[in-house]
Chains A and B, each alone.
Chain A
Amino acid sequence: MSDVLSDAGSDSNHDDSQEDVMTPAELIAKLEEAWLNEKFSPELLENKSEVVECVMEQLTHMEANLQRVKKGDAKASVHRMEIDRIRFVLSSYLRSRLQKIEKFFPHVLEREKSRGEGEPSLLSPEEFAFAKEYLANTETYLKAVALKRMPPNLQTVDMLKAVPEPCLDSFVFLRVKERQENILVEPETDDQREYVVDLEEGSQHLMRYRTIAPLVSSGAVQLI
């Protein structure tokens, strides 16, 4: 893998843009982290389009390098496998996101519309367009087939109420990357004292997603 990727790697090193220069290995690691987090999180996570774009550029470089390798060379099949593997992870990541967008479409659109100026975006522009089209398409269908034949006060459906929200209380497995102190697991009620834990680096836990959601977006924990 190293010699196929190193050509691509040296390209990005000559780049004098402001963004952090990542080695190809770091980029793929970032992709895999994003992929696992998205797979195991009950809600749609922040979009990582820079990672997606960089990985696609990487794949293009690798494919080009592969063309130059002599046919039938043993190295070719190893590189091919590597390209397939990365493409699978990337496709799976994008599919996870699309599935959640379709599943929670009105909520996802609402979150994106009401997000503040400086906040990172949930959807890429293309995902946003897709979500809007999905909503419009579905509404058109429901109206044409049934809603417009219903009594006047029932001809619309409030999608935000009709479509269930993601269950943030579902349990997820996680590994701690950065040590966390005093994570509130259960708030204090009349019957019980508040339950607080410290998360040691490298430890693994099974917890309610809602509790650790901010730690996933900050990168302090990794869902597994």
Chain B
Amino acid sequence: MFCEKAVELIRELHRISDGQLPAFNEDGLRQVLQEMEALYDQNQADVNEAKSEGRAELIPSIKVRHCCLLRDQRCVTAYLYDRLLRIRALRWEYGSVLPANVRFHMCAEENFRMTIVVLSQLQWFSQYKKSLASFMRSLGGGEGLDITQDMKPPKSLYIEVRCLKDHGEFEIDDGTVILLKKNSQHFLPRWKCEQLIRQGVLEHVVS
């Protein structure tokens, strides 16, 4: 049946409801595009015949094929856009520099080919980061505000954190420098730690 492959692409994303980004289904996309080409060619032929030979009975099948073409286009754009939303979420979750394992997941192809898809995804992500940064910089008449911080209402001023990996020196607002060594525990200002907690460098210790 027509459009089956296209719907399968959608189902694939629908199954992964936790927002993770699966590998790009290039094969699936290629099959849908091939089906679209075939439908379009058949329609071109039939349209010509319907016009020249006056065969009006071809018109219903032309219409059906056209509907399938529109559905294929819709499914493909939905698949691609949903992936973009998952990529966008990475910026908000992990910050401007993606941790290595996340970045790998965004680019990994079967044999690490830098395909159009991979390049386009990276380009979209890079442009999105730029737009967001530019917007945040312009807030308050040029003063700037990082709205990817302060994701939760402040409950306590300082929190106990444990360092999960070596992160080197870390300066807090009053000038003191903390050495973030693996397994060290610190009592730090909450707002300074948010991003490091999300990146997996620090862990909030709830006693």
Which residues on A sit within 8 Å (CB–CB) of B76? 146, 150
Find out whether the CB atom of B84 lies under 8 angstroms from the CB atom of A146: no
A interface: dominant SS:
helix
Check if B140 is an interface residue, CB within 8 A of chain A: yes
Which residues on A sit within 8 Å (CB–CB) of B174? 71
How many A residues face the partner with a CB closer than 8 A? 43
Find out whether the CB atom of A141 lies under 8 angstroms from the CB atom of B124: yes
Find out whether the CB atom of A80 lies under 8 angstroms from the CB atom of B135: no
Partner of A149, one of B33, B69, B151: B33
Decide yes or no: A52 and B116 within 8 Å by CB, A85-B154, A94-B147, A141-B123 being known contacts. Answer: no
Find out whether the CB atom of A84 lies under 8 angstroms from the CB atom of B120: no
Which residues on B sit within 8 Å (CB–CB) of A154? 36, 40, 69-70, 73
Check if B81 is an interface residue, CB within 8 A of chain A: yes
Find out whether the CB atom of B80 lies under 8 angstroms from the CB atom of A141: yes
Find out whether the CB atom of A92 lies under 8 angstroms from the CB atom of B150: yes
Find out whether the CB atom of A80 lies under 8 angstroms from the CB atom of B157: yes
21 contacts between A and B (CB under 8 A): A52-B139, A52-B140, A53-B140, A55-B140, A91-B149, A94-B147, A126-B135, A126-B138, A129-B131, A130-B132, A134-B128, A137-B127, A137-B128, A141-B84, A141-B121, A141-B124, A142-B81, A145-B116, A145-B117, A147-B77, A150-B73
**Bound complex: CA A126 to CA B132 (Å):** 10
Closest to A130 in B: B135
Check if A122 is an interface residue, CB within 8 A of chain B: no
Chain B residues with CB under 8 Å of chain A are: 29, 33, 36-37, 40, 69-70, 73-74, 76-77, 80-81, 84, 88, 116-117, 120-121, 123-124, 127-128, 130-132, 134-135, 138-141, 143, 145-147, 149-154, 157, 174, 190-191
Which residues on A sit within 8 Å (CB–CB) of B153? 85, 88
Decide yes or no: A129 and B139 within 8 Å by CB, A95-B147, A146-B80 being known contacts. Answer: no
* Beyond A91-B151, A145-B116, 6 additional pairs, beta carbon < 8 A: A77-B157, A88-B153, A92-B150, A134-B128, A145-B117, A150-B36
**Bound complex: CA A176 to CA B26 (Å):** 54
Closest to B43 in A: A151
For the complex of A and B, the 7 pairs showing the least CB-CB separation, nearest first, are A56-B140, A151-B40, A84-B154, A133-B131, A126-B138, A91-B147, A91-B150
Decide yes or no: A56 and B143 within 8 Å by CB, A129-B134, A130-B132, A151-B69 being known contacts. Answer: yes
- Smallest CB separation, B47 vs chain A (Å): 11
Check if A98 is an interface residue, CB within 8 A of chain B: yes
Q: Could you give, for residues 147-175 of chain A, a 1 whenever the CB lies within 8 Å of some chain B CB and a 0 otherwise?
A: 10111011001000010000000000000
Check if A34 is an interface residue, CB within 8 A of chain B: no
Find out whether the CB atom of A151 lies under 8 angstroms from the CB atom of B37: yes
Which residues on B sit within 8 Å (CB–CB) of A57? 140, 143
Partner of A130, one of B70, B123, B131, B145: B131
Which residues on B sit within 8 Å (CB–CB) of A28? none
Which residues on A sit within 8 Å (CB–CB) of B150? 84, 87-88, 91-92
- Smallest CB separation, A61 vs chain B (Å): 12
Check if A90 is an interface residue, CB within 8 A of chain B: yes
- Smallest CB separation, B68 vs chain A (Å): 11
Which residues on A sit within 8 Å (CB–CB) of B120? 140-141, 144-145
- Smallest CB separation, A75 vs chain B (Å): 13
Which residues on A sit within 8 Å (CB–CB) of B127? 133, 137
Decide yes or no: A56 and B139 within 8 Å by CB, A85-B153, A88-B153, A137-B127 being known contacts. Answer: yes
- Smallest CB separation, A15 vs chain B (Å): 15
Decide yes or no: A94 and B139 within 8 Å by CB, A87-B150, A154-B69 being known contacts. Answer: yes
